[in-house]
Amino acid sequence: MENVNLFLFVVEAVGYFTLMVTLLHFRYRLGLGMFLTALGVMHFMETYLAAVFYVPLPFGTVSPGSSVFFAGKLMMILMLYLQEDAAIVRQPIYGLFIGNLLTVGVAWLLQLHALGQVSAGQGANFEFLKEMGGLMLWGTALLYLDSIGIILLYERLGRHLRHKVVLRFMLCGFALLTFDQIGFFGAVHYFFDVPAAAFWGGWKAKMFSVCLYTAMFAIYEHGIRRNSVLAFNSRPIGDIFGDLTFRERYNDLLSRTGRDVLTGLYDRTRLELEAPAMIKEALRQGQDVTVMILDADHFKDVNDQFGHLQGDEVLKAIAARLGSILRVNDRMFRFGGEEFVAICPATDHGEGLRLAERLRWTIANSVSTPDGRQVTVSVGVATAAADGASFTSVLSAADERLYLAKRSGRNCVVGRAGLDQTG
C-alpha cells in the first residue's frame, strides 16, 4: 500500500509541475492570468487536504495537499519570480489573502441569516467554514512569508552560488518548506488535532517533493527553456524587445547606464550613486568594506610619448586586468583619467591589502607600453568603519594613502599603518 501511495505521490507531483510549468512557459500566448488563476484555485483544495487527507508513505503519514500541491505552489512562485519580477509575484499572494479574508467575512455574515429548509438533513456547516476560513487565512499568511523568504534567500545565495541556479532553487525549497511545515502544522494540530507524528512524515515528504521539483526544474531550465530562448532569439529584434519582461528590460538598461565608454567599467556617476549604499549596507550587517584608489604611474609620459590613442589602449588593458582579479561582489569604477576606485564588501583591511597587492602585481607583470616598458600602479587602501562610516570619509582616507604611495616611490600599496606592501 505504501509503495502504491508513493507512486501516486510522484505522479501527482509530476502532473502538477508539468501543467503549471506549461502555463508559465506559454504565459505570453495564453496570458499570465491562466497561470495565476490555476495557482489560486488550488488553494482551498490544498488547505482542505492538508487538514483531513493523509496517506501512509514509506517515510511517514503525509498529506498530498501540503507535501505535493502547496510545496509545488511555493516552487512555482519562485519560478515565476525568476522569469518575471517581485511585483508580479505579489499579485497572486495578495489576491489569495484578500479572497480568504473575504471567505471568513462572508461565513460570519451568513450566520446572521434566518435559514429556510430546502431538503431534510442538508444544512450549511458553519463550523466547517469558520475552521477552513481561519486555516486558509493562516496558510495564506504563511505563503506570503514563504514567498518573500524564498526570493530573498535565492538572491542572497546568489552572492556565493551565482551560476548554480538549480542548487539555489533546491536549497531555497529545503529552507522555506521546513519553515512552512513548522508554522502550518501548528495550525492543523490546533484546529483538527492532527497528531505530532505527522509533522516528521510531512517534513520528509516536503523534502522529497523539493528533490522531485528540483530535478524537473533542472530538466526544464537546461533542456526546454534554454532551447526556447535560442529559438526566441532568432525572431526580429522588435519582437524580442516587445517580449522582454520588466526585470529584463530594467537590468539591461541598468547594465548599460553609468558605464565608462573607454574601459567599460562603471563611471564616477555610478560610483557616487552605488558606493554610499554599499558601505551603508555592509555596516548595517556588521561587515567591513574596503575602498581602494588605484592610479597609473607616470601615465602622462605614456600619452606624451606615444599619443592619446596608445594611452587609451593602456587604460583599457589596466581595466581588463582589474576586472579579471576582482571578485563577484566587488565593484570597480573609473574615477577619472587614469584613476580607478574599487569597492570590496565583506573585506577587512588585511584582506583588502592583499587584494590590492595582487592587483598591483598583476598589472606590473602583464601591462606594458608600446615599447615594452612595464606599466605600474600605486594604490591607497582604506576600510570602513575604522577609517570612517561614510563613503566620503573612507574615500578621503584612501586618497591620502594613494598620495603617500606616490611620494614613496610609486608601484606600491599603502594602507592604514603606512607602507604595508611594496612593489
Q: pLDDT by residue (tens digit) across 257-300?
A: 678 888 989 999 889 988 999 998 888 888 999 999 999 999 99
Q: pLDDT by residue (tens digit) across 338-352?
A: 999 999 999 999 999
* DSSP at 367: -
Whose cell is 548599460? That residue is: 256
Q: pLDDT by residue (tens digit) across 166-186?
A: 999 999 999 999 998 888 777
Distance separating alpha carbons of residues 171 and 134, to the nearest angstrom = 30
Amino acid 192: pLDDT: 66
Distance separating alpha carbons of residues 381 and 347, to the nearest angstrom = 11
- Percentage of the chain exceeding pLDDT 90: 39
Residue 228 pLDDT > 70, yes or no? no
Residue 67 pLDDT > 60, yes or no? yes
- Taking the domains of the chain in order of start, what are their residue ranges? 2-111+124-232, 258-422
Mean pLDDT over 191-212 rounds to 83
Which position has the higher pLDDT, 218 or 190? 218
**Closest of 373, 340, 385 to residue 359, by C-alpha:** 340
237 Cβ contact list (under 8 Å, min separation 6)? none
- Percentage of the chain exceeding pLDDT 70: 85
Residue 234 pLDDT > 50, yes or no? no
Distance separating alpha carbons of residues 12 and 170, to the nearest angstrom = 19
Which position has the higher pLDDT, 127 or 34? 34
304 Cβ contact list (under 8 Å, min separation 6)? none
Amino acid 9: pLDDT: 93
Vertex 10 angle, CA 43 and 62, to 5°: 60
The grid coordinates listed for 408 are 614613496
Distance separating alpha carbons of residues 384 and 419, to the nearest angstrom = 19
Is residue 380 classed exposed, middle or buried when 0-12, 13-18 and 19+ CB atoms within 10 A define those classes?
buried
Distance separating alpha carbons of residues 46 and 56, to the nearest angstrom = 18
Q: Where are the alpha helices (DSSP H) in 53-116?
A: 64, 71-83, 86-110
Mean pLDDT over 73-91 rounds to 80
Which position has the higher pLDDT, 214 or 247? 214
* DSSP at 375: P
Distance separating alpha carbons of residues 394 and 388, to the nearest angstrom = 5
**What is the dotted CATH code of the domain comprising 258-422?**
3.30.70.270
Residue 253 pLDDT > 60, yes or no? no
Mean pLDDT of the chain: 83
Distance separating alpha carbons of residues 18 and 389, to the nearest angstrom = 51
Distance separating alpha carbons of residues 290 and 350, to the nearest angstrom = 10
Q: Are 115 and 209 in contact (CB under 8 A)?
A: no
Least confident interval from 44-48, 321-325, 345-349, 355-359: 44-48
Amino acid 237: pLDDT: 39
Q: Which of 76-90, 188-202, 229-243, 380-394 has the highest mean pLDDT?
A: 380-394
Least confident interval from 133-142, 216-225, 232-241: 232-241
pTM of this structure: 0.53
Whose cell is 589602449? That residue is: 313
Residue 1 pLDDT > 70, yes or no? yes
**Closest of 178, 157, 182, 180 to residue 168, by C-alpha:** 157
Which position has the higher pLDDT, 159 or 395? 395
Which position has the higher pLDDT, 256 or 364? 364
